[in-house]
C-alpha cells in the first residue's frame, strides 16, 4: 500500500516531511507567524515533489552527455542544471536529487516570507537561507559508524554558499570511490550534491582488498547500472590514503577553478584534505 | 452505476509494465509502497530502506503493530506497556495481545490467505484473528462538523484543490454533515479528481488537517478531533440547542431579570414571552415581533440569512431582526436580552420612552445565565468516520466461501475491527462498515494508485466457526509464533475500545 507525503512537526517545533525515500527536516527562524506560514508553504510544496520526480524518473536515471534534454518538473530541472557542467564524465541527474529537493523546498519555504534564517536538511544535503548578519555553523561527521566531529563549516550571509552536501561510500547512496565523506559547499544544495558525488567517485586507488560490486546487484534500480560500487574498504597504508585523497583534491580543485564549488573537505580513514577559497571549512580540533 | 471501476484496484498493484517486472520466482519484486515503485531484488531493500525483498516477498521493515491490553492481576492493574512508550524488550503475554492489520500488508491475488491468520485462546476457546490491510475502492468519509455557521447549501460540491471531493449532506443537531470520497469521485471522474479525493481522504483519515471549499458556502480547515476552522475563524463551541430549545432550558432562570429574551438562531429563533415556556411562567407578552416566518408561537424560521454572525445568521447587530415593537403591548423600561445559542454573543437593552431599545449594561443575573449557556455548549469538533465496503474480494483472504464470512459477521459470530477499533456494520447485504478514525492507531491508512484507500482490518472468530466457513485454517499460526518470529512493535490498547478476542 502507499503512504502519501506526510509532514509533521517534531516535538521541538521543526517540520519533518517524509515521502517514500525522501526525509526532510526543516527549521526556520523569524517572527512566529512568518515561521508558521513558511512551514505551511513548504508542506504544500512537498506534497507533490515525489510524484513530479517519478513522472520523469527513467530520464533522470540516464546519463547526460551534453545533451539538450529538458525536464518538465522544477526539481528535475534543478537536477539537470546542477549536473550539466559535469557532462564530460559519467553522471546522471540523480546525483543531485537530494540537494535539488532541498533547494526546491527551501525556495517554497522562504517565498514571500521574512525569515532570519532557514535550513532544509535532506538526509545531510542541506539548503539554507541567511538574511544579512546571519551565519550557519555546521559539523561534518565522516563515518557514521564511528561518529566524530571531523570538521566545522561556518558560513555567513556575505558568502555565496547556500548549499552543503556530503557523499561517500558509506550510507544510503552508492559511490564509485572510497572516500568516507566528501563535503562540498556550493551555491546551491543541488550543485554541492552533484560535485560531492563526483569528487567522492574520484577518491580512489587500485587495491585488491577493496570490495566492489555491480551497483545493480545491490539496488536493482540503481542509475549506476553495472558499474562497480564500493562495498568495503580495508585499512589502508598512509601512502595509499594520500594517493586516493590527492585524486579527489585534483578533481575538487578543477571544480573550484571552474567556479562550480566554493570548498570541499575530503575524509578517508581519519586523514583529510581540504580545498577552499573564500568560505572556510576547518578541521575540527 | 455504469462502469464505476473501470480501473480495478488490483490493476494499480501491478501496473501496465508488470510484464517485465513481475517475476513469479520473486527474484525481483515491485514495491508499491510509494510512487517510486522500486524494483527490489531478493535480499535488497528499496530506495527508502523501509521495504525489502525477503525471499521473494515484499516485506515492510516497519513492523507489524500489536496492541497490548493492561491486565488485572489480583486487583492491581499491571500495564504491560505504557502507552506511547516503546516496548522495553520483555516478553509480552499472548493472551493480552491483539495483532492489528497495521503493517500487515495486503496479499495479491486475493485468493491467497491473508498475511496473518493468528490463533490464540480466549476463555479457554481457540480463537482465530484474520489480519490484513484491505484495499477499499468503495469508500468514503463522513464528516460531522460541529458548527451553527452556514457551511453551504445541501448537495453543494465540497472541493479540495479545486476538485470536487464530496458534497454537503444533512444538517444535524448543532452540526453539518459532509460526505467525502466515494467511488464516483475516486474512479468515476477525471484522474486528477480521483487523486485529489484520495489524498484528501488519506490525510483526514490519518488525522491530518485538510482545507476544503464549499460551492456557494464556506471555506473550511478540518481535522479529526480538532475544532473546525470556518472562513479562517476557529469554531469554539457547539450551540446548546436551537433558539427554541435554549428558551426551554433557561426560561425559568431569566424570570424576574428580563421581560423578554430573544435567542437568535439561524434555524429557530426563540422569543420567550410568546414561547410555550414563557406562557407557562405567566410572562406578560412584550409585543416585540421578530422578522421571519412564525412556525409555532415564539418560534421563528429565517429571521435572517445564514452567515458567520449571531447564532449562524448573518446578523452582527441583533436589533436588525426586530421587525416592529407594538406600542399597545410593549412598555417603556421593558428589559430585553438578546443572546445567541452559544452565549458567544449577547446584548442587553431597555426600551426608552419612545419604545426604542437602548443598549444598557447587562445585569449580573442575566450575565450568569449567558455564561451558563456558553458552559453548556460542548467543544466544537470535527469527527471523521471512515465508511467502506469489505464485502468484496478481500473476503477471499479469509475463506474460500466468502458469503459465509458475510453471514458470520451479520450473526455477530465474527467480530470486525479496524486496527483494533470497533466498527459498525450496516444492516443489509455485504460488509459495509463505519469506523471512527480517532479510535484507530495513528497513521493506519495508506493508498494504492487506483486510487483507493488501504486500511487495517481484522476478523476475529472461534476457530470452530472458522473451520466451518471454509477458512484458510492451514495458514493459521500461533500468536506466540508471531511474537517470536515476527518483526513487530507494540502499543497500549486504546481505552474505550472493547477487547475483540472473545468467544461471545
A63-77, A243-257, B230-244: segment of lowest average pLDDT? A63-77
Is the predicted pLDDT of residue A29 greater than 60, yes or no? yes
Answer whether A4's CB lies under 8 Å from A20's CB. Answer: no
Q: List CB contacts (< 8 A) between B46 and chain A.
A: 21
Distance CA B492, CA B86 (A): 10
Query: Would B225 be classed as within a structural domain?
Result: no
pLDDT at res. A252: 94
Is some CB atom of chain B closer than 8 A to the CB atom of A252?
Answer: no
Grid coordinates belonging to A158: 556575505
> Does B82 share its domain with B112?
yes
Is the predicted pLDDT of residue B217 greater than 50, yes or no? yes
Best mutation site among B13, B20, B35, B195 for testing chain A: the one with the most A CBs within 10 Å?
B35
Q: List CB contacts (< 8 A) between B202 and chain A.
A: 4
Distance CA B242, CA B173 (A): 8
Query: Would A258 be classed as within a structural domain?
Result: yes
**Residue labelled with grid coordinates 524494483:** B39
Distance CA B17, CA B32 (A): 13
Query: Would B360 be classed as within a structural domain?
Result: yes
Determine the structural domain holding residue A233 and report its residue range. 6-283
| Whether A4 and B449 lie within 8 Å, measured CB to CB | no
Query: Would A149 be classed as within a structural domain?
Result: yes
Determine the structural domain holding residue B20 and report its residue range. 9-58
The domain boundary, picked from B307, B342, B375, lies at: B375
Q: Kindly report the nearest CA distance between residue A7 and chain B, in angstroms.
A: 9
Distance CA A179, CA B478 (A): 48
Considering only alpha carbons, which residue of chain A is nearest residue B135?
A: A1
Is some CB atom of chain B closer than 8 A to the CB atom of A33?
Answer: no
Is the predicted pLDDT of residue A9 greater than 90, yes or no? no
Query: Would A144 be classed as within a structural domain?
Result: yes
The residue among B202, B101, B103 whose CA lies nearest residue A19 is B202
Region B227-233 average pLDDT: 93
Q: Kindly report the nearest CA distance between residue B44 and chain A, in angstroms.
A: 6
> Does B46 share its domain with B67?
no
Quick one: DSSP state of residue A109? H
- Count of H helices and E strands in chain A? 8, 14
Region B209-235 average pLDDT: 95
Distance CA A59, CA B204 (A): 34
Q: List CB contacts (< 8 A) between A51 and chain B.
A: 35
Region B352-365 average pLDDT: 96
Is some CB atom of chain B closer than 8 A to the CB atom of A6?
Answer: yes
Q: Where residue A146 falls among pLDDT bands split at 50, 70, 90?
A: low
- Selected residue with higher pLDDT from B385 and B73: B385
> Does B325 share its domain with B352?
yes
Region A172-201 average pLDDT: 92
Helix (H) or strand (E) holding A119: strand A115-122
Q: Where residue B85 falls among pLDDT bands split at 50, 70, 90?
A: very low
pLDDT at res. A202: 94
Best mutation site among B30, B34, B59, B200 for testing chain A: the one with the most A CBs within 10 Å?
B34
pLDDT at res. B503: 65
pLDDT at res. B90: 47
Distance CA A237, CA B284 (A): 105
> Does B338 share its domain with B392?
no
Grid coordinates belonging to A86: 559535469
Considering only alpha carbons, which residue of chain B is nearest residue A21?
A: B48
Per residue in A154-168, pLDDT tens? 788 988 899 999 998
The residue among B105, B61, B68 whose CA lies nearest residue B86 is B68
Per residue in B322-356, pLDDT tens? 999 999 999 999 999 999 998 999 999 999 999 99
Quick one: DSSP state of residue B396? G
> Does B399 share its domain with B332?
no
| Whether B454 and A51 lie within 8 Å, measured CB to CB | no
Pick from B28, B40, B446: CB nearest A1: B446
The residue among B74, B76, B68, B110 whose CA lies nearest residue B93 is B68
Q: List CB contacts (< 8 A) between A54 and chain B.
A: 35-37
Grid coordinates belonging to A54: 517519478
Pick from A1, A4, A21: CB nearest B48: A21
Dihedral angle, C-alpha B499, B500, B502, B504, nearest 10 °:
110
User: Does this complex have an ipTM over 0.90?
Assistant: no
3-state secondary structure of B28: strand
Is the predicted pLDDT of residue A38 greater than 70, yes or no? yes
> Does B47 share its domain with B75?
no
Per residue in B26-36, pLDDT tens? 788 888 778 88
Is some CB atom of chain B closer than 8 A to the CB atom of A273?
Answer: no
Query: Would B148 be classed as within a structural domain?
Result: no
Whole-structure pTM over 0.90, yes or no? Answer: no
> Does B40 share its domain with B105?
no
**Residue labelled with grid coordinates 562497480:** A228
Query: Would A1 be classed as within a structural domain?
Result: no
pLDDT at res. A60: 92
> Does B26 share its domain with B121?
no
B433: which strand partners? B388, B425
> Does B390 share its domain with B366?
no
Burial of B354 (0-12, 13-18, 19+ CB in 10 A): exposed
Per residue in B460-504, pLDDT tens? 999 999 999 999 888 888 887 777 766 777 788 888 899 888 766
Percent of chain B with pLDDT over 70: 88
Helix (H) or strand (E) holding B481: helix B479-485
* Averaged confidence pLDDT in chain B: 85
Q: List CB contacts (< 8 A) between A15 and chain B.
A: none
Query: Would B158 be classed as within a structural domain?
Result: no
Region A72-80 average pLDDT: 94
Considering only alpha carbons, which residue of chain A is nearest residue B13?
A: A1
pLDDT at res. B119: 83
| Whether A1 and B106 lie within 8 Å, measured CB to CB | yes
Q: How many CB atoms lie within 10 A of CB B95?
A: 13
Query: Would B169 be classed as within a structural domain?
Result: no
- Selected residue with higher pLDDT from B372 and B94: B372
Q: Could you tell me the CATH number of the domain that includes residue A138? A: 3.10.520.10
Quick one: DSSP state of residue B492? E
Per residue in A214-271, pLDDT tens? 888 888 888 888 889 998 888 889 999 999 999 999 999 999 999 999 989 898 988 8
Grid coordinates belonging to A252: 575538487
Helix (H) or strand (E) holding B192: helix B191-205
pLDDT at res. A201: 93
Considering only alpha carbons, which residue of chain B is nearest residue A174?
A: B47
Q: List CB contacts (< 8 A) between A21 and chain B.
A: 34, 36, 46-49
Chain B from 96 to 125: CB within 8 A of any A CB? 105-106
> Does B301 share its domain with B353?
yes
Q: List CB contacts (< 8 A) between B39 and chain A.
A: 220-221
Region B168-191 average pLDDT: 93
pLDDT at res. B486: 65
Q: Where residue B17 falls among pLDDT bands split at 50, 70, 90?
A: very low
pLDDT at res. B4: 30
Distance CA B406, CA A104 (A): 50
Answer whether A7's CB lies under 8 Å from A43's CB. Answer: yes
Q: Where residue A136 falls among pLDDT bands split at 50, 70, 90?
A: confident
Triad A20, A24, A25: Cα angle to 5°: 145
Cis check: omega of the bond before A213, within 30 degrees of 0:
no
Query: Would A60 be classed as within a structural domain?
Result: yes
pLDDT at res. B5: 29
Number of domains in chain A: 1
Distance CA A154, CA B372 (A): 60
Q: Kindly report the nearest CA distance between residue A15 and chain B, in angstroms.
A: 14
Is the predicted pLDDT of residue A205 greater than 70, yes or no? yes
Is the predicted pLDDT of residue B12 greater than 60, yes or no? no
Size of the A and B interface in Cβ pairs below 8 Å: 69
Is some CB atom of chain B closer than 8 A to the CB atom of A221?
Answer: yes
Answer whether B475's CB lies under 8 Å from B117's CB. Answer: yes
> Does B404 share its domain with B488?
yes
Number of domains in chain B: 3
> Does B270 share its domain with B298?
yes
Distance CA B377, CA B364 (A): 20
Is the predicted pLDDT of residue B87 greater than 60, yes or no? no
Per residue in B406-452, pLDDT tens? 999 988 899 999 999 999 999 988 899 999 999 999 889 988 777 88
Q: List CB contacts (< 8 A) between A97 and chain B.
A: none
| Whether A172 and B454 lie within 8 Å, measured CB to CB | no
The residue among B54, B69, B193 whose CA lies nearest residue B496 is B69
Is the predicted pLDDT of residue B19 greater than 70, yes or no? no
| Whether A20 and B199 lie within 8 Å, measured CB to CB | no
* SS3 of A116-147: EEEEEEECCEEEEEECCCCEEEEEEECCCCCC
Q: Where residue B108 falls among pLDDT bands split at 50, 70, 90?
A: low
Query: Would B159 be classed as within a structural domain?
Result: no
Query: Would B230 be classed as within a structural domain?
Result: no
In this structure, what are the phi and psi dihedrals at residue A276, rounded to the nearest 5 degrees? -155, 155
Quick one: DSSP state of residue B85? S
Query: Would B194 be classed as within a structural domain?
Result: no
| Whether A21 and B39 lie within 8 Å, measured CB to CB | no
Answer whether B260's CB lies under 8 Å from B282's CB. Answer: no
pLDDT at res. A279: 46
Amino acid at each position: 500500500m502507499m503512504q502519501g507525503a506526510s509532514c509533521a512537526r517534531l516535538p521541538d517545533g521543526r517540520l519533518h516531511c517524509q515521502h517514500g525515500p525522501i526525509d526532510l527536516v526543516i527549521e526556520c527562524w523569524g517572527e512566529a507567524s512568518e515561521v508558521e506560514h513558511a512551514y505551511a508553504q513548504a508542506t504544500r510544496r512537498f506534497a507533490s515533489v515525489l510524484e513530479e520526480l517519478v513522472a520523469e524518473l527513467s530520464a533522470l536515471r540516464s546519463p547526460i552527455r551534453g545533451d539538450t534534454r529538458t525536464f518538465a518538473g522544477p526539481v528535475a530541472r534543478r537536477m539537470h542544471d546542477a549536473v550539466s557542467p559535469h557532462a564530460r564524465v559519467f553522471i546522471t541527474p540523480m546525483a543531485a536529487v537530494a540537494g535539488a529537493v532541498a533547494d526546491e523546498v527551501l525556495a517554497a519555504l522562504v517565498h514571500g516570507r521574512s525569515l532570519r534564517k532557514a535550513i532544509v536538511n535532506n538526509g545531510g544535503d542541506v539548503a539554507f537561507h541567511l538574511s544579512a548578519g546571519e551565519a550557519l555553523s555546521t559539523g561534518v561527521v565522516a563515518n557514521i559508524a564511528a561518529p566524530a566531529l571531523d570538521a566545522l563549516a561556518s558560513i555567513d550571509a556575505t558568502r555565496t554558499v547556500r548549499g552543503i552536501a556530503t557523499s561517500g561510500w558509506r550510507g544510503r547512496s552508492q559511490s564509485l570511490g572510497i572516500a568516507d565523506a566528501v563535503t562540498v559547499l556550493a551555491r546551491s544544495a543541488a550543485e554541492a550534491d552533484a560535485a560531492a558525488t563526483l569528487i567522492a567517485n574520484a577518491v580512489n586507488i587500485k587495491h585488491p582488498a577493496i570490495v566492489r560490486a555491480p551497483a545493480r546487484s545491490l539496488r536493482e534500480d540503481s542509475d549506476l547500472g553495472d558499474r562497480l560500487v564500493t562495498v568495503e574498504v580495508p585499512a589502508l597504508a598512509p601512502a595509499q590514503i594520500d594517493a586516493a585523497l590527492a585524486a579527489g583534491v585534483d578533481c575538487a580543485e578543477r571544480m573550484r577553478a571552474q567556479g562550480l564549488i566554493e570548498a570541499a573537505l575530503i575524509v578517508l580513514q581519519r586523514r583529510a584534505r581540504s580545498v577552499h577559497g573564500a568560505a572556510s571549512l576547518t578541521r575540527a580540533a | 452505476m455504469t462502469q464505476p471501476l473501470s480501473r480495478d484496484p488490483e490493476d494499480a498493484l501491478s501496473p501496465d509494465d508488470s510484464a517485465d517486472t513481475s517475476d513469479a520466482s520473486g527474484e525481483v519484486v515491485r514495491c508499491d509502497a510509494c510512487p517510486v515503485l522500486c524494483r527490489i531484488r531478493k535480499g535488497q531493500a528499496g530506495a527508502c530502506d523501509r521495504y525489502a525483498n525477503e525471499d521473494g516477498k515484499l516485506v515492510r521493515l516497519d513492523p507489524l503493530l500489536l496492541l497490548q491490553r493492561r491486565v488485572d492481576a489480583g486487583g492491581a492493574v499491571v500495564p504491560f506497556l505504557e502507552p506511547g512508550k516503546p516496548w522495553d524488550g520483555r516478553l509480552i503475554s499472548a493472551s493480552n495481545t491483539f495483532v492489528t492489520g497495521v503493517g500487515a500488508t495486503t496479499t495479491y491475488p486475493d485468493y491467497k490467505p491473508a498475511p496473518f491468520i493468528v490463533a490464540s485462546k480466549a476463555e479457554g476457546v481457540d480463537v482465530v484473528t484474520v489480519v490484513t490491510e484491505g484495499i477499499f475502492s468503495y469508500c468514503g468519509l463522513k464528516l460531522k462538523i460541529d458548527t451553527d455557521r452556514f457551511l453551504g447549501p445541501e448537495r453543494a460540491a465540497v472541493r479540495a484543490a479545486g476538485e470536487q471531493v464530496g458534497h454537503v449532506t444533512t444538517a444535524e443537531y448543532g452540526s453539518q454533515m459532509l460526505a467525502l470520497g466515494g467511488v464516483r469521485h475516486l474512479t468515476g471522474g477525471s484522474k486528477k479528481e480521483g487523486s485529489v479525493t484520495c489524498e484528501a481522504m488519506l490525510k483526514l483519515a490519518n488525522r491530518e488537517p485538510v482545507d476544503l471549499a464549499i460551492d456557494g458556502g464556506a471555506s473550511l480547515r478540518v481535522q479529526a478531533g480538532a475544532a473546525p476552522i470556518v472562513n479562517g475563524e476557529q469554531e469554539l463551541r457547539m450551540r446548546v440547542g436551537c433558539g427554541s430549545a435554549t428558551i426551554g432550558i433557561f426560561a425559568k432562570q431569566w424570570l424576574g431579570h428580563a421581560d423578554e429574551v430573544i435567542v437568535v438562531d439561524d434555524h429557530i429563533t426563540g422569543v420567550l414571552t410568546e414561547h410555550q415556556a414563557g406562557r407557562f411562567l405567566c410572562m406578560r407578552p412584550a409585543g416585540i415581533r421578530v422578522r421571519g416566518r412564525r412556525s409555532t408561537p415564539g418560534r421563528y424560521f429565517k429571521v435572517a440569512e445564514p452567515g458567520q454572525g449571531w447564532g449562524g445568521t448573518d446578523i452582527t447587530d441583533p436589533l436588525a431582526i426586530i421587525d416592529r415593537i407594538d406600542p399597545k403591548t410593549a412598555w417603556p423600561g421593558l428589559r430585553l436580552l438578546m443572546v445567541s445559542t452559544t452565549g458567544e454573543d449577547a446584548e442587553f437593552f431597555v426600551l426608552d420612552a419612545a419604545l426604542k431599545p437602548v443598549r444598557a449594561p447587562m445585569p449580573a443575573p442575566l450575565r450568569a445565565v449567558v455564561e451558563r449557556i456558553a458552559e453548556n455548549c460542548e467543544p466544537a469538533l470535527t469527527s471523521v468516520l471512515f465508511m467502506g465496503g469489505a464485502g468484496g474480494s478481500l473476503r477471499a483472504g479469509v475463506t474460500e466461501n466468502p458469503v459465509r464470512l458475510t453471514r458470520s459477521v451479520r450473526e455477530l459470530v465474527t467480530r470486525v475491527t479496524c486496527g483494533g477499533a470497533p466498527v459498525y456494520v450496516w444492516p443489509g447485504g455485504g460488509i459495509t462498515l463505519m469506523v471512527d478514525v480517532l479510535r484507530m492507531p495513528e497513521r493506519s491508512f495508506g493508498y494504492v494508485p487506483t486510487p483507493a484507500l488501504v486500511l487495517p482490518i481484522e476478523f476475529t472468530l472461534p476457530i470452530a466457526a472458522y473451520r466451518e466457513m471454509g477458512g484458510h485454517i492451514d495458514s493459521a499460526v500461533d500468536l506466540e509464533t508471531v511474537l517470536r518470529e515476527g518483526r513487530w512493535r507494540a502499543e497500549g490498547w486504546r481505552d474505550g475500545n472493547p477487547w475483540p478476542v472473545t468467544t461471545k
